[in-house]
């Protein structure tokens, strides 16, 4: 076989094994994996390097308006470029429905925005207005196109669907093989805490950390799981930030729930102390759920190592530290008016490799699973996330020994800061490929605007996730009634 490209002599790393060998690429796909391969119009020497699937960033806010009207700083060009420099070959940002907007219009809007991407992409739909026509007509049409995941909120007044609305969404998802993602925080707990703090005049950024208690996340995670069990639908808990929340996920997964979850680097690297910086510097670290403490970081690392989480995602929410982002509502504002979120799409994998693999917290195989393979499986990216013949040649070649500090300048995004500024990390993706084309090489962007493609995704793979039998839905125990 004549190969377009042969990557030779590298340590091939997958979620299952590592082995030194060669990869042959033809027409954008992996055509062969062997101990030695000859030929290739281009031969890339990967000696001393790790060759792994390109990252799949499954949680990012790109060219997206928040419910309060703040537009993220990164569009699909800058966001995809930043992702590529971070070792990612594809991503799945959110496409957000605003109240009164049809799902068809949402998809058309994001199709136009995403046309600039340099890497492959799909969308998670954010549903904020589940009218009957949305549930019965528009969502099934989106599923048929290959958009097989969406997100709902249990917090924020403009986004919170309530338990009944969640059950409706979960039921539609189950019928079509889709997965529901949920931001789980108890809205009333958060609002009550906000009132308590406001009454005492405690409105500086640092008080954001205590306005959203760990209990609010833990209660909402538990409730969301029970709702999903009642609907017999798969559920993905996003950005788990608490030890208690992670433990609930672990226990319910052990008991057979159709459950998936993630955490994020900011909950591993930063603490609530970062919110207590001079002036309004703490606003850079306002995100929800909020940053926690060192003990929580240790607990989350334990859960990562033990398999509680399918992925570690960035939750890239790029709001600049100026009047277009964090301070859209003014400069001297209480913490609830500060735009929630922070950037991190270029740092996600570097941080996870350095703090996880290099420091011995996780294996290289786990790193591959957490960064790519599990996301491909969970979200139906059938041709991505693995090094095997027939798969897309989405590949990242890493220098495991490079030591490079994180700076705002090397994020390649549209932001004016990074919360990870100055961190010295070990490991750097040197070459990143998308469908066989080199998109980043030794610090240079090689991709062209718009070369990314939309990825139509498959229904969720629930093998090994039997679910939990609810007695009231069992005809043997409910007077013979078929309720599903």
- Provide the pLDDT for residue 236: 98
> Helix or strand or coil: residue 363?
coil
User: Phi and psi dihedrals of 429, rounded to 5?
Assistant: -70, 125
Please tell me the least confidently modeled range out of 34-48, 155-169, 392-406.
155-169
The band of 471, judged by pLDDT with boundaries at 50, 70 and 90, is confident
Percent residues over pLDDT 70 in the chain? 100
Q: Per-residue DSSP letters for 276-301?
A: S-TTTGGGGG--SSPP--HHHHHHHH
476 CB burial (10 A radius; 0-12, 13-18, 19+): exposed
At 68, list the tokens: 């309060």
- Average per-residue pLDDT for the chain: 96
Domain boundaries, the chain: 55-379
- Provide the pLDDT for residue 268: 98
Q: Per-residue DSSP letters for 199-220?
A: HTT--SGGGHHHHS-HHHHHHH
**In this predicted model, what pLDDT tens digit does every residue of 334-383 receive, in sequence order?**
999 999 999 999 999 999 999 999 999 999 999 999 999 999 999 999 99
Which among 231, 309, 217, 302 has a CA at the least distance from the CA of 263? 309
Give the single-character DSSP code of 422: T
Answer yes or no: is pLDDT of 129 > 80.
Answer: yes
The band of 468, judged by pLDDT with boundaries at 50, 70 and 90, is confident
The band of 475, judged by pLDDT with boundaries at 50, 70 and 90, is confident
At 400, list the tokens: 């495991």
Answer yes or no: is pLDDT of 482 > 90.
Answer: no
Q: How far is CA 458 from CA 102, 176, 312, in A?
A: 23, 11, 21
Answer yes or no: is pLDDT of 483 > 80.
Answer: no
The band of 481, judged by pLDDT with boundaries at 50, 70 and 90, is confident
> Helix or strand or coil: residue 196?
helix
At 45, list the tokens: 């020497």
At 186, list the tokens: 């108890």
Total H helices, total E strands in the chain: 14, 18
For residues 348 and 85, the answer to whether their CB atoms sit within 8 Å is: no
pTM over 0.75: yes
How far apart CA 354 and CA 103 sit, in angstroms, is 40
**In this predicted model, what pLDDT tens digit does every residue of 13-33 receive, in sequence order?**
999 999 999 999 999 999 999
- Provide the pLDDT for residue 360: 98
- Top-tier CATH class for 55-379: alpha beta
Please tell me the least confidently modeled range out of 56-60, 304-308, 465-469.
465-469
How far apart CA 254 and CA 247 sit, in angstroms, is 11
At 463, list the tokens: 């093998």
Which among 419, 401, 412 has a CA at the least distance from the CA of 447? 412
- Provide the pLDDT for residue 68: 78
Residue indicated by tokens 């928040």: 66
Answer yes or no: is pLDDT of 478 > 90.
Answer: no
Query: Length of the chain in residues, anyone?
Result: 484
- Provide the pLDDT for residue 91: 98
Q: What is the CA radius of gyration of the chain?
A: 22
Strand residues in 97-212 grouped as ranges (E): 120-121, 124-126, 149-153, 179-183
User: Phi and psi dihedrals of 271, rounded to 5?
Assistant: -135, 175
In terms of pLDDT, which residue wins out, 322 or 468? 322
- Provide the pLDDT for residue 290: 98
């Amino acid at each position: 076989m004549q190969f377009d490209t042969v990557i030779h002599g590298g340590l091939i790393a997958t979620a299952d094994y590592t082995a030194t060998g060669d990869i042959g690429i033809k027409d954008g796909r992996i055509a062969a994996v062997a101990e030695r391969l000859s030929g290739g119009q281009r031969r890339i020497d990967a000696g001393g390097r790790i060759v792994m699937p390109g990252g799949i960033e499954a949680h990012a806010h790109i060219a997206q308006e928040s419910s309060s009207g703040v537009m993220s700083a990164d569009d699909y060009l800058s966001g995809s470029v930043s992702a590529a420099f971070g070792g990612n070959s594809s991503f799945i940002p959110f496409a957000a429905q605003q109240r009164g907007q049809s799902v068809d219009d949402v998809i058309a809007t994001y199709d136009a925005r995403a046309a600039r991407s340099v890497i492959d992409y799909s969308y998670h739909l954010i549903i904020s207005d589940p009218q009957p026509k949305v549930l019965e007509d528009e969502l099934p049409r989106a599923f048929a196109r290959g958009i097989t995941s969406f997100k709902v909120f249990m917090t924020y007044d403009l986004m919170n669907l309530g338990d009944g609305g969640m059950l409706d969404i979960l039921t539609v998802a189950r019928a079509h093989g889709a997965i529901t993602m949920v931001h789980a925080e108890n809205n009333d707990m958060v609002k009550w805490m906000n009132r308590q703090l406001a009454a005492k005049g405690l409105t500086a950024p640092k008080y954001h950390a205590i306005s959203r208690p760990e209990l609010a996340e833990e209660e909402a995670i538990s409730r969301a799981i029970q709702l999903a069990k009642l609907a017999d639908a798969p559920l993905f808990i996003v950005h788990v930030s608490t030890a208690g929340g992670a433990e609930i996920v672990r226990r319910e997964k052990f008991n057979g729930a159709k459950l998936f979850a993630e955490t994020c680097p900011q909950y591993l690297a930063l603490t609530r102390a970062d919110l207590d910086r001079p002036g309004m510097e703490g606003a850079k670290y306002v995100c929800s759920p909020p940053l926690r403490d060192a003990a929580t970081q240790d607990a989350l690392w334990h859960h990562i190592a033990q398999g509680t989480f399918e992925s570690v995602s960035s939750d890239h929410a790029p709001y600049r530290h100026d009047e277009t982002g964090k301070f859209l509502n003014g400069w001297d504002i209480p913490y609830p008016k500060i735009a929630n979120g922070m950037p991190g799409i270029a740092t996600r994998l570097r941080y996870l490799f350095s703090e996880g693999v290099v420091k011995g917290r996780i294996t290289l195989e786990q790193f591959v699973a957490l960064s790519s393979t599990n996301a491909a499986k969970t979200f139906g990216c059938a041709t991505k996330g693995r090094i095997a013949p027939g798969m897309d040649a989405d590949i990242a070649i890493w220098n495991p020994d490079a030591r490079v500090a994180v700076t705002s300048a090397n994020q390649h995004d549209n932001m004016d800061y990074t919360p990870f500024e100055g961190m010295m990390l070990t490991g750097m993706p040197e070459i990143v490929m998308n469908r066989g084309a080199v998109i980043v090489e030794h610090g240079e962007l090689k991709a062209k605007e718009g070369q990314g493609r939309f990825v139509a995704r498959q229904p969720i793979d629930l093998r090994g996730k039997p679910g939990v039998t609810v007695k009231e839905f069992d005809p043997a125990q409910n007077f013979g009634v078929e309720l599903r």
